[in-house]
Amino acid sequence: MLRNRSVLVTGCAGFLGPWLCEQLIQAGARVVGLDRLYLKGSRIHNLASQVEMIEADIRDFALMQEIIQTRQITVIFHLAAQALVGEAAKNPVQTFKDNIEGTWNVLEVARLANAEKYTIEGIVVASSDKAYGDQAELPYLESAPMEGKYPYDVSKSCADLISRSYFHSFKLPVCITRCGNLYGGGDLNMSRIVPGTIYSIFKNEPPIIRSNGSPVRDYIYVQDAAEAYLTVAERLLSDPTIAGEAFNISKDQPVSVLEITRRMMKIGNSKLEPVVQNTASLEIEKQYLNSKKMREQFNWYPKHNLDQGLKRAFEWYFDYFLEQSNQNQYLKAAPMTASVISP
């Protein structure tokens, strides 16, 4: 369904973006990527010859209109967002602008395009499990209300509600995806538990746990999530009756922060005890999803269990850290070799 279509991916240079762009290229789509910052280490640069990469801010309404019209975009994956909980707590207004205003800009450009008989046939908006907020009933089902309390969570709740409003009010063909915690190669935010822990193991230092280790989360390998996004988009194009719906994307096997840290330490053969700082704030204690709807409607299942995904993540990060260390640009500590990764 995506072959020969012009597809826009906002936030293409982030963590999920390059993985999704790879899937789109394999599906035969003409991919236009948009981001306001292209970090040197982003995996998107590996696709430079296959993706038209545009430096732009999704809050620039006129520029968004120009891009969608001149590239004849018919499908949009809206991933662009300020994605860090800690950063949202420090800079809530900027997070609200990026995540809420940015979302309504993308949707309004699409609405106007459709009103002018220029057809946007499908939009997939990346929401989050954080959009549900802190609720008593677990795991979260798609029917649960949006009840974010903290800045990041609220920004995702609002973007989620706005997206569905554009469907109900204007019949815009939108679907919403709500993922658990993504992990895998290409996440350059070392404050996150997976890349941060692998970084510590690489340097032969004790891993740092910012919380008390007890928060429970879903973790889903990034490539599985990218495939889920593609699955939703292709079904939306073939069956417009699913427009306006939301879909949870999860492995459905929640684990605590301490457990996933210890699993990574085992994979990396680290004997050092993690340092539990217990300094994290504005975090929900238990948060995980039920992806039964996604599995039953689309016959979609994650291909990687947690240990398989973590081992693949280790391989990517060890290669990346070694390269940065050899260039004296990233690491100062003497690195361990990739041979420490357990089979």
Question: Cα angle vertex 319, ends 316, 320, to 5°?
Answer: 85
CATH number at residue 273: 3.90.25.10
Supply the pLDDT for residue 332. 46
pLDDT digits (tens, 9 = 90+) for 57-114: 999 999 999 999 999 999 999 999 999 888 999 999 999 999 999 999 999 999 999 9
* Residue 299: inside a domain: no
Active-site positions read 152
Q: Is the pTM of this model over 0.75?
A: yes
* Residue 198: inside a domain: yes
One domain, residues 85 and 125: yes
Supply the pLDDT for residue 156. 98
* Residue 15: inside a domain: yes
One domain, residues 16 and 96: yes
Phi and psi at residue 278, in whole multiples of 5°? 55, 45
One domain, residues 242 and 201: no
CATH number at residue 160: 3.40.50.720
Q: Where in the sequence is the domain holding 274, given as residue range(s)?
A: 193-215+253-285+305-338
One domain, residues 20 and 134: yes
Q: How far apart are CA 272 and CA 270, in angstroms?
A: 6
Q: How far apart are CA 50 and CA 22, in angstroms?
A: 9
* Residue 26: inside a domain: yes
Supply the pLDDT for residue 282. 74
Q: How far apart are CA 152 and CA 234, in angstroms?
A: 29
DSSP H helices in 140-221: 151-170, 193-202
Q: Which has the closest alpha carbon to 228: 244, 251, 255? A: 251
One domain, residues 143 and 211: no
pLDDT digits (tens, 9 = 90+) for 208-234: 998 899 999 999 999 999 999 999 999
* Residue 57: inside a domain: yes
The answer to whether 107 touches 38, Cβ cutoff 8 Å, is no
One domain, residues 239 and 260: no
One domain, residues 147 and 198: no
One domain, residues 273 and 142: no
Tally of domains in the chain: 2
One domain, residues 152 and 117: yes
Supply the pLDDT for residue 292. 98
Across the beta sheet with 75-78, the strand order is 51-55, 30-35, 6-10, 75-78, 122-126, 174-179, 246-249
β 208-209/122-126 pair status: unpaired
Supply the pLDDT for residue 328. 60
* Residue 121: inside a domain: yes
* Segments of the chain scoring below 70 in pLDDT: 328-343
One domain, residues 42 and 86: yes
One domain, residues 203 and 83: no
Instruction: List the beta strands (DSSP E) in the chain.
Output: 6-10, 30-35, 51-55, 75-78, 122-126, 174-179, 181-183, 208-209, 216-217, 219-221, 246-249, 255-256, 275-276, 286-287
* Residue 232: inside a domain: yes
Supply the pLDDT for residue 1. 86
Q: How far apart are CA 322 and CA 340, in angstroms?
A: 13
* Residue 80: inside a domain: yes
Q: How far apart are CA 297 and CA 222, in angstroms?
A: 21
One domain, residues 138 and 201: no
